């Protein structure tokens, strides 16, 4: 619970924001307040949906497992998508983004993947899920686990008003009982199972998967560990934004890949290097081609909504938060089969400016 | 000329610095003063050695040549080394770094490459030169133009107290008359000679050269244009400093390489990508290996001095400016043939910290 007086003060200080989505009036926290992390959501009765906590990353199994785990743990697949928390409030299902906004896209599409009846049986349940696939409004890349459109993978459960996650036993039981689509489970391990997890991560790498989230039964010890290939895939997907993303986006992945190669000497180092270089130049080459062809560098996102009203709400949200970087055609959303299709472009300012100046023959000083 | 009162005020404000090298008392400018750029040097009589001006870079021949050049120009090779300005003052030859320090290394070694007699005939002459090769105290990489030790390449001449550079005709005449070692000259071109310059840069690329500096006869229109391979070579040499150099060091070179490939479709794009990826992983892999083996990431520089006193002055300068990042053995400098050998290590703090934490199994949040 957060008291209204505390919320009002936080809004005054720019630490919380009052928002409205259709009939729902809610607040999102931009900073930690009353012990709740940023991204937490305050519902009309003052109850709080906590922000999804960051999971620490380990970069070495050999050193990281004994250091971070003191009990057995489950290895669940980390799906490369975006994180939502889904709940039902006053009869309506909402999906909240990591930042604490109602996500119009995920809210619209959630019923494609989960039976609303789960909330009849478990009214206070919160599903923590990844939405992934080629057709999302947020991601440039996709995952081999979703061939078309999007899919939803539940990986954690919470109960509104109860701190922490449900334990693994209860989580798996509820997945089963309500047919919730889980992130793939890859087994139960001990902290000493370094070789077995090494083999598993190399198999996932070969399949193009992102990696693993390791969780003890009570969920208190957690860590993520990703494949070398996911570093290259991310770099490929985002190289056209090289000058627009924080440089750490790239330097973190490069460093991580080098450590992954050092820990897995059985990998083909040469082929990995080749794939990395091709990924960088493919993305950058596309940026140069776009700059030459249309004078700007951007990415076109494509996604589908069940309801036209959801698409309109999504457009409104993009216009408010993305400003002039977002270009949406006046014919959007457009009917496509049973869905409403939305395509829009996000323009990368720094790439656009730097490339157009370079290709115009300007002098550059660096 | 800069008046003493103006200098004193600049020192007070931290915009200039009073320095002493052996018998020479001089000042260097940390900010532009009285129309002189940063890196300018004020000599004991108040005469000023101007800072070497940045040369604008073009990234496209097709667009850049007509935009930046309105007269014929010379194409001189850009050598991958460090820039010094060399003059004689009160009977002694000094070499100043880009930042305006007397460089003990270059000052010591200059007589290996230029006849001091040039300053008998031309007492006010200033040689602008690149010092390059595998054995420098500043550079991680080298150039195929210098097989061992270092060499010196003169590319511009100035006269103390006279603004601007000598024109190309006078420069070449003085090079000839005094046996000054020039940066290689690759011909005289018109702004329309895009194809010929394209062929030239691809030949230089194949030879592993850095690129070209283009200069009109009067030196007023100038531009540099580098090979794609030089971007990869720089990335290879500095990948072990990925988290310590400004990220722009890497993003500029990646962008430049992509533009170079787009302008030269005859290049083997796939092979270039492979070379880029191998370069990144080779440098990063060395960093991981060093972190594992010795708990720190750094680079060992090696260079040779004629005089022991010069090496000691260089060590003193490193200790003052490099602080705790520079590790120099107590047995340095060490006699090696006719020279004094200096080896020292520069430690890369961010790589050292990040890799040692990752390899220790720490949780990382990004």
Is the Cβ of A295 closer than 8 Å to some Cβ of chain B?
no
Q: What pLDDT digit, counting tens, does each position of B312-348 carry? A: 999 999 988 877 789 999 999 999 999 999 999 999 9
Among the partner residues B59, B279, B284, nearest to A258 by beta-carbon distance: B284
pTM metric for this prediction: 0.94
Across the interface, of B54, B254, B363, the residue whose CB is closest to A57 is B363
Say which residues have a Cβ less than 8 Å from residue A342's Cβ, sequence separation at least 6.
Answer: A137, A302, A303, A304, A305, A311, A314, A315, A328, A332, A333, A334
Q: Tell me if chain B has a CB within 8 Å of the CB of A58.
A: yes
CATH C-level class of A298-359: alpha beta
CB contact under 8 A, B281 and A272: yes
Q: What is the pLDDT of residues B42-98, one digit of tens each?
A: 999 999 999 999 999 999 999 999 999 999 999 999 999 999 999 999 999 999 999
Contact residues, chain A, for B274 at CB < 8 Å: 273-274, 277-278
Residue A228 burial class via C-beta count within 10 angstroms: exposed 0-12, middle 13-18, buried 19 and up: buried
Contact A355 B269 (CB under 8 A): no
Fold type of domain B55-78+188-226: Dna Ligase; domain 1 (3.30.1490)
Angle (deg, nearest 10), helices B228-238 and B194-207: 30
Report the chain B residue with the minimal C-alpha distance to residue A286: B258
Angstrom CA distances, A284 to A251, A267, B123, B142, B262, stand at 16, 26, 51, 27, 10
Determine the residue of chain A that is closest to B272 in CA distance: A277
Using CB atoms, pick whichever of B64, B252, B274 lies closest to residue A277: B274
Q: What CATH class is the domain A1-48?
A: alpha beta
Task: Reduce the DSSP state of residue B190 to 3 states and report it.
Answer: coil
Which of A243, A276, A360 is closest, CB to CB, to B255? Answer: A243
ipTM: 0.93
Nearest residue to A290 via CA among A358, A355, A360: A355
- Tell me the residues of chain B between 231 and 260 that have a Cβ less than 8 Å away from chain A: 242-243, 247-248, 250-252, 254-259
A142 DSSP assignment:
-
What is chain B's percent helix, strand, coil content, to nearest 5?
A: 40, 25, 35
Check CB contact under 8 Å for A364 and B68: no
Residue B281 near chain A (CB below 8 Å): yes
User: What are the tens digits of pLDDT across the range B259-270?
Assistant: 999 999 999 999
Binding-face residues of B in 18-57 toward A, CB within 8 A: 54, 56-57
pLDDT digits (tens, 9 = 90+) for B139-194: 999 999 999 999 999 999 999 988 899 999 999 999 999 999 999 999 999 999 99
**Residue B15 scores a pLDDT above 80:** yes
Domain B1-51 has CATH 3.40.630.190: no
B31 alpha carbon, distance to own chain's centre:
20
Write down the domain spans for chain A: 1-48, 52-78+188-226, 230-283, 298-359
Cβ of B63 and A361 within 8 Å? yes
**What's the topology of domain A52-78+188-226?**
Dna Ligase; domain 1 (3.30.1490)
Chain B contacts in chain A segment 66-105 (CB below 8 A): 66-68
Task: Kindly indicate the confidence band of residue A215, based on its pLDDT and cuts at 50, 70 and 90.
Answer: very high
Q: Is B146 on the interface with A (CB under 8 A)?
A: no
- Chain A neighbors of B51, CB-CB under 8 A: none
Any CB–CB contact under 8 A between B280 and chain A?
yes
CATH classification number, B230-293, choose in 3.90.25.10, 2.40.70.10, 3.40.50.300, 1.20.58.2250: 1.20.58.2250
Does residue B134 sit in helix, strand or coil?
A: coil
What average pLDDT does the segment A31-39 reach?
A: 94
Residues sharing a CB contact under 8 Å with residue A314, sequence separation 6 or more, in sequence order: A104, A105, A108, A137, A305, A342
Residue B227 distance to chain A (closest CA, Å): 15
From residue A121, alpha-carbon distances to A65, A158, A178 in Å are 37, 14, 9
């Amino acid at each position: 619970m957060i008291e209204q007086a505390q919320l009002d003060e936080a809004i005054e200080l720019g630490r919380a924001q009052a928002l409205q989505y259709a009939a729902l009036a809610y607040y999102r926290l931009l900073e930690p307040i009353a012990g709740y992390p940023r991204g937490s959501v305050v519902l009309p009765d003052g109850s709080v949906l906590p922000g999804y906590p960051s999971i620490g990353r380990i970069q070495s199994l050999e050193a990281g497992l004994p250091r971070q785990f003191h009990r057995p743990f489950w290895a669940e697949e980390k799906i490369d998508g975006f994180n939502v928390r889904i709940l039902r409030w006053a009869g309506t299902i909402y999906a909240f983004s990591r930042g604490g906004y109602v996500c119009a896209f995920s809210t619209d599409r959630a019923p494609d993947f989960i039976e609303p009846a789960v909330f009849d049986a478990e009214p206070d349940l919160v599903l923590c899920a990844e939405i992934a696939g080629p057709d999302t409004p947020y991601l440039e890349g996709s995952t081999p686990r979703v061939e078309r459109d999007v899919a939803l993978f539940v990986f954690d459960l919470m109960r509104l008003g109860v701190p922490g996650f449900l334990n693994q036993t209860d989580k798996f039981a509820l997945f089963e009982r309500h047919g919730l689509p889980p992130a793939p489970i890859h087994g139960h391990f001990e902290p000493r199972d370094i070789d077995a997890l090494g083999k598993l991560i190399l198999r996932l790498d070969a399949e193009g998967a992102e990696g693993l989230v390791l969780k003890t039964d009570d969920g208190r010890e957690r860590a993520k560990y990703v494949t070398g290939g996911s570093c290259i895939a991310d770099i490929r997907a985002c190289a056209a934004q090289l000058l627009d993303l924080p440089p750490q986006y790239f330097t973190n992945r490069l460093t991580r890949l080098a450590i992954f190669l050092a820990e897995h000497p059985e990998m083909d180092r040469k082929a990995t290097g080749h794939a990395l270089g091709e990924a960088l130049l493919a993305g950058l080459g596309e940026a140069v081609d776009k700059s030459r062809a249309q004078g700007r560098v951007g990415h076109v996102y494509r996604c589908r909504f069940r309801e036209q009203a959801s698409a309109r709400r999504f457009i409104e949200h993009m216009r408010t938060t993305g400003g002039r970087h977002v270009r949406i055609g006046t014919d959007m959303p457009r009917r496509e089969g049973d869905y409403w299709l939305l395509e829009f472009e996000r323009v990368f300012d720094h790439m656009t400016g730097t490339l157009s100046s370079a290709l115009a023959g300007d002098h550059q000083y660096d």
